[in-house]
Chains A and B, each alone.
Chain A
Amino acid sequence: KNEVEQSPQNLTAQEGEFITINCSYSVGISALHWLQQHPGGGIVSLFMLSSGKKKHGRLIATINIQEKHSSLHITASHPRDSAVYICAVREGGNQFYFGTGTSLTVIP
């Protein structure tokens, strides 16, 4: 069993829809990361959080440490949001665990 589980694995949405991607983890962490990977391959860090909530533009990330759960929300989704979103946790030191990713397609 993977230390990080994401759902859903695949998601298709109409432009403008509100999107939620969930992440659950089973280890103690120092931080949780939400990453975005476009078809070209490169991975960009969207958020790093260890408590509460962070917002950047149309993206919102929340974390509940007690429940070991995080969500990534996208408001007013746009086709350019189409990408793979990866949840990763840092256990401590240099140990990171990654989810398998959620493939999001936003249709115009």
Chain B
Amino acid sequence: ETGVTQTPRHLVMGMTNKKSLKCEQHLGHNAMYWYKQSAKKPLELMFVYNFKEQTENNSVPSRFSPECPNSSHLFLHLHTLQPEDSALYLCASSSMVGSGELFFGEGSRLTVL
């Protein structure tokens, strides 16, 4: 149990589908993140939310749309994705303090056909 839960763990979708990834943390953290992990590449930051406010949008295409209704929940809405968007999407959370530890979810493996 990592304290950060992601659903679904696996998702296969067509390019015209709309789907959402969900992340939930009960660690009392105020910062939540979406990362993309592709083969042989470092984790790529997509979005950061602090106290439900988006503070980072790392030039992510608009077909990815984040939502943070409260400090415990984070969503990534997916629409008209491309096959190159297939990757592992990881949610993480941390405290706001400068040296706070980073906790990750198990990831959502996305395949776009």
Contacts and interface: CB of A to CB of B under 8 A. Distances in A.
Interface of A: 2, 4, 30-31, 33, 35, 40-45, 48, 50, 86, 88, 90, 92-94, 96-101
Interface of B: 2, 9, 31, 33, 40-43, 45, 48, 50, 55-56, 88, 90, 92, 94, 96, 98-99, 101-107, 109
Contact of B90 (A43, A45, A90): A43
Contact of A42 (B2, B33, B55): B2
A49 to B, nearest CB: 9
Contact of B101 (A4, A33, A41): A33
Contact of B55 (A40, A41, A45, A94): A94
Contacts of B43: 86, 88, 96, 98
Contact of B103 (A45, A86, A90, A93): A45
B105 to A, nearest CB: 7
A99 B44 CA distance: 10
Nearest to A41: B107
Contacts of B50: 94
A100 B48 contact: no
Given A90-B98, A94-B50, A96-B102, 12 more contacts: A31-B98, A31-B99, A33-B102, A42-B107, A44-B2, A45-B101, A45-B104, A90-B99, A94-B31, A98-B43, A99-B42, A100-B40
Contacts of A2: 42
Nearest to A86: B43
A30 B99 CA distance: 6
Given A88-B102, A98-B43, A41 B109 contact: yes
Contacts of B42: 2, 4, 97-101
19 contacts: A4-B42, A31-B99, A33-B101, A33-B102, A40-B106, A41-B88, A41-B90, A42-B107, A43-B90, A44-B2, A88-B43, A90-B99, A92-B98, A93-B98, A94-B50, A94-B55, A94-B56, A100-B41, A101-B42
Contacts of B88: 41
